[in-house]
């Protein structure tokens, strides 16, 4: 969550400093892709943890 807030703050800063829209969009797309990968990674970790917890309950 902190990473996402930092990313949004970076974009807002660029918008408020009149950065080129193309630069802002490039940053947005890069950050969006990074966030999607992070989400996928967290989903995998969560699923693995659930499976391990299920095994230990047996």
Domain positions in the chain are 2-57
Residue, of 34 and 2, whose pLDDT is higher:
34
Distance CA 11, CA 55 (A): 44
Residue 22, pLDDT > 80, answer: yes
Residue 17 has pLDDT above 90, yes or no: no
pTM attached to this predicted model = 0.61
Higher pLDDT, 28 or 48: 48
For the ranges 17-21, 26-30, 51-55, which has the lowest average pLDDT? Answer: 17-21
| Residue 25 Cα distances to 10, 39, 58, angstroms | 12, 21, 50
Compute the distance between CA of residue 29 and CA of residue 35 in angstroms, rounded to an integer.
10
Q: How confident is the model at residue 15 (pLDDT cuts 50, 70, 90)?
A: confident
């Amino acid at each position: 969550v902190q990473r996402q807030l930092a990313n949004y703050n970076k974009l807002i800063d660029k918008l408020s400093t009149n950065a080129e829209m193309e630069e802002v969009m490039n940053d947005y797309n890069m950050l969006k892709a990074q966030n999607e990968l992070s989400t996928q990674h967290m989903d995998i970790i969560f699923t693995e943890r659930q499976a391990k917890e299920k095994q230990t309950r047996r």
